[in-house]
Amino acid sequence: MISVTAVFAAAAAFSADSGPAALEQSFDRLIVPAEMEDWLKILAAEPNHVGSPHDKANAEMVLKLLQEWGWDAHIESFDVLYPTPLSESLEITGPTPFKATLTEPPVAGDETSTRSAAGLPAYVAYQGDGDVTAPLVYVNYGMLADYDELERMGVSVKGKIAIARYGEGWRGLKPKLAQDHGAVGCIIYSDPHEDGYTMDDAYPKGPARPAAGLQRGSVADMPIYPGDPLTPGVGATRDAKRLKIAEAPTVLKIPVLPISWGDAQHFLATLDGRVVPRAWSGSLPLTYHVGGGGTPVHLAVKSDWSLKPLYDVVATLKGSTYPDEWILRGNHRDGWVFGADDPLSGQVALLAEAKAIGILVKQGWRPKRTLVYLSWDGEEPGLLGSTEWGETHAVELGKKALLYINTDDNARGFLTAGGSHSLQHFVNQVADDVTDPETQTSVAKRLRAKLQVDGASPTAGAAARADALIAADASKDLPIAALGSGSDWSVFLQHLGLPTIGITYGGESNSDGVYHSDYDTYEHFSRFVDPGQVYDTVLAKTVGRLVLRSADADLPVQRYGDFADEIGRDLTEIEALTVSKREQALIQGKLLSDGLYHLADDPTLSSAPPTPLKAVPHINFAPLEDALDRLRQSARAYDRALIGKGGALSGAVRDQLVQLTRSTEETLAPEVGLPGRPWYRNLIYAPGRFTGYGAKTLPGVREAIEEQRWADADRYTALTAQALTRYADKLDEAVHLINGG
């Protein structure tokens, strides 16, 4: 591994006049894997969750480093509701009593795992404390479709404790839906089917989740709003107006605990009732029953519900030409325990970029626009640090921020990018220029290979085959994903309507197995996730290019054809969804009126017919179709004009164009917000109300149809069409500018 001194010597070759390619080459040489490894070891040495001493120490270390590297850095603090666990217990009270261990003992060969005493116990943030005793009902993944199945089995969770396995949708929905269906408590466990021995050898032999491994996490109802539950829409500054805890809609009302499969198997073995449907069986060596009438289980959780401090580190490097145009780049710093992979693998890439940029500045380069590097606290319990900062600075960000780039955990493998589709081309340009260390081709080319090989598999689905077709066509950009929830982009993309990119590498290691457990340690990371910080280096080079290019670009980095294509696909999907839901409702109505569910059921098993679906009226998609036509035309005109004439534009026009891109994207996030959750203003991208992590595009319309809210469907068809039309107006304005209007 190259020494730090050698790197400085090599970088010295760069001079400010050498141009962007030379700049990036110099930048690359300043990314030093051994330094990232050193930082990772220190940051991940002790539990570093919100409120822990090491969380604060890490903030101070990051602050000091950034300042040393020449950044104008400070710690910005917030006071947030953060329930600190006081006691938790879970036990079988029946004839064969069993008390859940709720602990993750140290693992041979992992010295870090011996230091977990100061870490959080088995715990999920923003559950509702309680002490309940009731029989268990197994609800599979605990998603909406599972409750449909439970209904068909004639089984209710009312007055029971739901036990759900991790997977399929966001953790927080499991207790939320259990609560909505009348459960008095909820247990979430890690089945080996999802991330244990079925996936890979269990830690320490392999990377997968061991018997005692448990997954902490947030169960705040973040699809309503993320951030501090007490201060929706405003920063949780010391003197902010706060809700009472009982009024905070994102805090659950029932007690919830996460457990390992080592504990869970004892509880699952006690369940009675029907054998579960085939798809509900996990990989434990037992027969899964749905339960409902068996041995009662006692669940008790108690927390300290006081406010706790957050420490966001904010580092600025003022732009030489456009100091009031900001490029934001963030990664959180808090983990659930040691957090070596999640989030520190991304955090050390951020640090490496910041250091390299600092050196480049010392060598005479300076970004034209201002860079803001952000080391977030409190992402894990609910995107706290980013949300409170974004809400606090909303007005200034509305004027200055051009772009937010997010990373989080990172691993060996392939590029995954998500974000605003107007940035799809930009991401592709960068991916074409970053070399994959395992194959010595570009990360874009490697991803194209992977998509083509996956799409050629005999078991490939329609989506994989479609992606393969795009990947095989070098003239087309690789698709980026729409962003739902799961990391710190939410406030920027979904609340403020800021152009956003999320980047990660992965797919070749199995780091899920230690996700949010005591075992996400430096030892695990360096053996299984990214030995030698090879893909952390690639991440820093990728994000570094996004930052350097967007900071110095003379012209907007956006292209709008990709965005129009995305909206076209979304609308086609939604129209097809409407047709299929209408058909479903008709078919189900006939099955119900003919009594066919009863005839099809096994009379020896409990069962019940499903709740009737509402008839699906015809939705007026015309405004959206018109808006899409308009958007397509405007986007095409813009892209053509910029490619044709961009180079010849005057500096003043170019500056105006860049400013326009900011306000163009903002049109997608009008004040009105989404139905029932107005914090989410972006009418194009949102986390699904009932998927959580998963994105829903055109969510106002799509979810209204999914959830049989026909009035909302009509209303949001019009609102979304208006937003897209305003977007097209902005593009036309830009074309007018380019054409010298």
Q: Give min distance, CB of 281 to its own copies, in A.
A: 5
**Helix segments in 202-254, DSSP class H:** none
* 139 lies in the site for its own copies, by CB under 8 A: no
Distance CA 79, CA 308 (A): 5
Distance CA 81, CA 147 (A): 31
Residue number with CB closer to its own copies (366 or 445):
445
User: Considering only residues 275, 463, 576, 615, which one is a binding residue for its own copies as defined by CB under 8 A?
Assistant: 275
Judged by CB under 8 A, which stretch of 65-73, 129-137, 272-280, 556-564 contacts its own copies?
272-280
Ranges within 342-361 binding its own copies (CB under 8 A): none
Judged by CB under 8 A, which stretch of 42-50, 115-123, 594-602, 711-719 contacts its own copies?
594-602
Residue number with CB closer to its own copies (27 or 203):
203
Q: Give min distance, CB of 650 to its own copies, in A.
A: 44
Contact 413, 535 (CB under 8 A): yes
Residue number with CB closer to its own copies (211 or 548):
211
Q: Give min distance, CB of 535 to its own copies, in A.
A: 12
User: Considering only residues 9, 86, 286, 643, which one is a binding residue for its own copies as defined by CB under 8 A?
Assistant: 286
Query: For residue 395, which phi and psi values (nearest 5 degrees)?
Result: -65, -45
Distance CA 371, CA 71 (A): 9
* 201 lies in the site for its own copies, by CB under 8 A: yes
Distance CA 29, CA 130 (A): 55
Distance CA 20, CA 333 (A): 30
* 450 lies in the site for its own copies, by CB under 8 A: yes
* 584 lies in the site for its own copies, by CB under 8 A: yes
Distance CA 121, CA 142 (A): 23
- C-alpha distances (whole Å) from 386 to each of 310, 495, 681 are 10, 12, 17
Q: Give min distance, CB of 387 to its own copies, in A.
A: 34
**Helix segments in 237-342, DSSP class H:** 261-269
Q: Kindly state the tokens that stand for 202.
A: 């269990």
* 5 lies in the site for its own copies, by CB under 8 A: no
- State the greatest distance between any 2 C-alpha atoms of the chain, in Å, as a whole number: 84
* 21 lies in the site for its own copies, by CB under 8 A: no
Distance CA 90, CA 709 (A): 39
Judged by CB under 8 A, which stretch of 20-28, 281-289, 364-372, 484-492 contacts its own copies?
281-289
Contact 520, 216 (CB under 8 A): no
Residues in Cβ contact with 648 at an 8 Å cutoff, skipping those fewer than 6 apart: none
Q: Kindly state the tokens that stand for 446.
A: 């490697």
Residue number with CB closer to its own copies (35 or 703):
703
- C-alpha distances (whole Å) from 657 to each of 557, 738, 740 are 10, 8, 12
Residue number with CB closer to its own copies (599 or 711):
599
Q: Kindly state the tokens that stand for 129.
A: 């404390």
Residue number with CB closer to its own copies (447 or 491):
447
Query: For residue 472, which phi and psi values (nearest 5 degrees)?
Result: -80, -15
Residue number with CB closer to its own copies (272 or 396):
272
Residue number with CB closer to its own copies (507 or 646):
507
From residue 430 to residue 449, what is the string marking binding to its own copies with x (rule CB under 8 A)? --------xx-x---xx-xx
* 600 lies in the site for its own copies, by CB under 8 A: yes
Strands (E), 366-495: 369-376, 401-406, 413-419
User: Considering only residues 128, 172, 175, 192, which one is a binding residue for its own copies as defined by CB under 8 A?
Assistant: 192
Query: For residue 497, which phi and psi values (nearest 5 degrees)?
Result: 70, 35
Displacement of CA 708 from its chain's centroid (Å) = 27
Query: For residue 164, which phi and psi values (nearest 5 degrees)?
Result: -120, 150
Residue number with CB closer to its own copies (598 or 640):
598
Q: How many residues in the shown chain lie near its own copies by CB under 8 A?
A: 51
User: Considering only residues 284, 493, 660, 713, which one is a binding residue for its own copies as defined by CB under 8 A?
Assistant: 284
Residue number with CB closer to its own copies (157 or 468):
468
* 413 lies in the site for its own copies, by CB under 8 A: yes
Residues in Cβ contact with 66 at an 8 Å cutoff, skipping those fewer than 6 apart: 73, 313, 315, 351, 354, 373
Residue number with CB closer to its own copies (93 or 584):
584
* 463 lies in the site for its own copies, by CB under 8 A: no
CA atoms in the 13 A half-sphere facing the CB of 472 = 11
Residue number with CB closer to its own copies (599 or 652):
599
Residues in Cβ contact with 612 at an 8 Å cutoff, skipping those fewer than 6 apart: 588, 589, 592
Distance CA 675, CA 666 (A): 19
Judged by CB under 8 A, which stretch of 310-318, 383-391, 479-487, 581-589 contacts its own copies?
581-589
Residue number with CB closer to its own copies (438 or 714):
438
* 456 lies in the site for its own copies, by CB under 8 A: yes
* 598 lies in the site for its own copies, by CB under 8 A: yes
Q: Which of 398, 642, 412 is nearest to 530 (CA)?
A: 412
Residue number with CB closer to its own copies (284 or 668):
284
Residue number with CB closer to its own copies (144 or 553):
144
From residue 202 to residue 221, what is the string marking binding to its own copies with x (rule CB under 8 A)? x---x-x-------------
Q: Kindly state the tokens that stand for 350.
A: 């951020």
The secondary structure of the chain in percent helix, strand, coil, rounded to multiples of 5, reads 45, 15, 40
User: Considering only residues 453, 463, 579, 643, which one is a binding residue for its own copies as defined by CB under 8 A?
Assistant: 453
Distance CA 540, CA 355 (A): 11
Q: Kindly state the tokens that stand for 414.
A: 């392939």
Ranges within 661-700 binding its own copies (CB under 8 A): none
Query: For residue 311, which phi and psi values (nearest 5 degrees)?
Result: -125, 90
User: Considering only residues 6, 145, 579, 622, which one is a binding residue for its own copies as defined by CB under 8 A?
Assistant: 145
* 588 lies in the site for its own copies, by CB under 8 A: yes
DSSP 697-710: ESHHHHHHHHTT-H
From residue 470 to residue 509, what is the string marking binding to its own copies with x (rule CB under 8 A)? --x-----------------------------------x-
* 198 lies in the site for its own copies, by CB under 8 A: yes
Q: Give min distance, CB of 412 to its own copies, in A.
A: 8
Q: Give min distance, CB of 707 to its own copies, in A.
A: 15
User: How many CB atoms within 10 Å of residue 53?
Assistant: 11
* 614 lies in the site for its own copies, by CB under 8 A: no
Distance CA 290, CA 275 (A): 6
Residue number with CB closer to its own copies (395 or 599):
599
Judged by CB under 8 A, which stretch of 247-255, 309-317, 602-610, 704-712 contacts its own copies?
602-610
Query: For residue 93, which phi and psi values (nearest 5 degrees)?
Result: -100, 0
Give the interface with its own copies as residue ranges (CB under 8 A).
Answer: 145, 192, 197-202, 206, 208, 275, 278-279, 281, 283-287, 413, 438-439, 441, 445-446, 448-450, 452-454, 456, 458-459, 468, 472, 508, 584, 587-588, 590-591, 594, 596-600, 602-604
